[in-house]
Structure 1
Amino acid sequence: MSVENDSSQAQSLAADSGFPTFPVAPGYRVNVRSGPGTSFSIIDTLPLGGYVTIRCQCSGTTVSGPYGTTDIWDCIGNGRFVSDAYVHTGTDGYVAGRCS
């Protein structure tokens, strides 16, 4: 299976969750952290060309990336966070509900 097919399949599976799905910045392997900040441990790395499903968002450590500088962190699953600076949401603001 090609990388393109893997990305398409991942996007389709993520879209089925009912939460908004967005691509990560091209050419970046984005770190997934255990909390909303760079002081939290890295628990995974997203593949090149990956997509994330944002379940909720919260503020955390300010990070600069290809989509600007932000303190917004995207929760992509239970205890799994990525900086919104590496996710192409099309806006500098929140696109999902706030994490509680």
Structure 2
Amino acid sequence: MSKLKKRGILSIVIASLFFFSSNALAVQYYTLSTNSGMPLNMRSGPGTNYPIMLSIPSGSRVPYYCYSYGTTVTGKYGTSNIWDQIQWKDSRGVVNIGYISDTYLYTGSDGPVGTQCN
């Protein structure tokens, strides 16, 4: 293989690694808020029929990953069936990934943001 061809392949590999790693790090943070100021329940799935995993204080900024459709809920920011997958550390420092209704997360949009969860 020629030196020029090796450099071309190496350049493509490096560019691909940069592109994919920068997308993986592009997590958005949004603030969750309730009308009452009470904590918000994070659930194991996109709906009120899923178990509550933990509660998150109103006003917290959380990392947002993707959205799913589920139970329709009315909250601080309207009525929607969009559920956002987020992350929160519990009191032991364990990282939990779960869902909250989009009606409590200020994303600046009434529709879905980001990508749909798999």
TM (norm. structure 1) is 0.77
**After the TM superposition, which residues 58-73 of structure 1 pair with which residues of structure 2 at under 5 Å, given as runs?**
58-73=68-83
Runs of 4+ deviating beyond 4 Å: none
Whole-Å separation in 2 of the counterparts to 1:79 and 1:48 = 17
- Please tell me whether residue 82 in structure 1 is matched to residue 90 in structure 2: no
Deviation at 1:47, TM superposition (A): 1.4
Partner of residue 50, structure 2: 40
Percent identity over the alignment is 42
More helix by share: 2
- The count of corresponding residues between Structure 1 and Structure 2 is 84
Give the letter aligned to residue 80 of structure 2. Answer: T
Give the aligned CA root-mean-square deviation in angstroms. Answer: 1.5
Whole-Å separation in 2 of the counterparts to 1:48 and 1:65 = 13
**After the TM superposition, which residues 14-29 of structure 1 pair with which residues of structure 2 at under 5 Å, given as runs?**
18-25=26-33, 27-29=37-39
Q: Which has the higher contact order (CA 8 A, sep 6+)?
A: 1
Partner of residue 97, structure 1: 115
TM (norm. structure 2) is 0.66
Whole-Å separation in 1 of the counterparts to 2:38 and 2:98 = 17
More strand by share: 2
Larger radius of gyration: 2
The gaps in structure 1 that reach 5 residues or longer are 1-16
